[in-house]
Amino acid sequence: MKEYESVYKALEHLSLALGNSVNENMKLQQEKEEQISFLIHDLKIPLTVVKGNTELLALENQEKKNLESYNDIEESIKEIEDYIQLIIDSNLNHKEQKDNSVQSLNIADIIDEFKKPGAFSIIKIDVCTVTIAEKIIYVNASDFYRALGNIIINAHERTPKHKKVKITIETEEKHLLITIEDFGNGFTEESLERGKKLFYTENKARHNKHYGLGLTFSTRIIESYGGVIEITNNQLNHGKVIVKIPLFDK
């Protein structure tokens, strides 16, 4: 009897400790999101002032030399704005704040989207399909295509100009699989381990425009619909990213 009470108390203590740990982690996550929101707000105000004054100066000083300087400033401002938007996207907790506009998408419509003329701007892609079931997925279409777009852009930047990014679409029993393969040098061991973490980037150059946010955003979007993103290398040691989304009957 004493042994039973001892085990019960130990389990009770463990349960309380686990509950406290979960609550503490949730509190820290909430504080982190609030801090990022405040930081973004504090950045946007002076950025708006700089942007407005630069545009006014550009109108008043039309000399070629001055205009080139103003253009450089405006391009830098645009980079900062893009960076801020990526942080906003990556900071969204889609598990708690799901968009109400989730809709059903037919697999055939997804394939058509990839095959549209001019899809994904100037990126060269080669789309092939394997086994396609007449089923649907439930996603926010805009976020879903943005998530895929981030991965495709990364693959495009790793692929030589004379090659195309390969996209394979197929269905398993319970999942839609979208495999995106590049023709680059493959992911490093560090990238395979840390590729989906916030701010991680392979390119450590000081002026690198890759902030390590795109794949984090894509991962959170896909996971919010019950899916997963897998980063690996194919048999030829080129980079391969697999997106898995749950399938549903029509």
Q: What does the pLDDT read at residue 179? A: 94
**Which residues make Cβ contacts (< 8 Å) with residue 95, sequence separation at least 6?**
223, 224
Strand partners, 192: none
- At 102, give phi and psi (nearest 5°): -60, 135
Question: Using an 8 Å Cβ cutoff, are 216 and 229 in contact?
Answer: no
CATH number of the 103-246 domain:
3.30.565.10
Between the alpha carbon of residue 188 and those of residues 33, 81, 237, the distances in Å are 30, 30, 10
- The DSSP string of 9-74 is HHHHHHHHHHHHHHHHHHHHHHHHHHHHHHHHHHHHHHHHHHHHHHHHHHHH---HHHHHHHHHHH
121: left (phi over 0), alpha (psi -120 to 50) or beta: left
Mean pLDDT by groups of 10 residues along the chain of 250 residues: 61 67 69 65 71 78 75 78 67 50 88 74 74 86 86 85 90 91 85 60 48 68 91 90 92
Q: Encode burial over 93-131: b for 16+ CB neighbours within 10 A, e otherwise.
A: ebeeeeeeebeebebeebbebbeeeeebeebebebeeee
Q: What does the pLDDT read at residue 241? A: 92
Q: What does the pLDDT read at residue 15? A: 66
**Which residues make Cβ contacts (< 8 Å) with residue 214, sequence separation at least 6?**
86, 150, 151, 153, 154
Q: What does the pLDDT read at residue 95? A: 43
Q: What does the pLDDT read at residue 80? A: 77
Q: pTM of the predicted model, to two decimals?
A: 0.60
Q: What does the pLDDT read at residue 12? A: 67
Q: What does the pLDDT read at residue 152? A: 87
- CA dihedral of residues 21, 26, 29, 33 (deg, nearest 10): -160
**Which residues make Cβ contacts (< 8 Å) with residue 73, sequence separation at least 6?**
50, 54
Q: What does the pLDDT read at residue 210? A: 44
Q: What does the pLDDT read at residue 76? A: 77
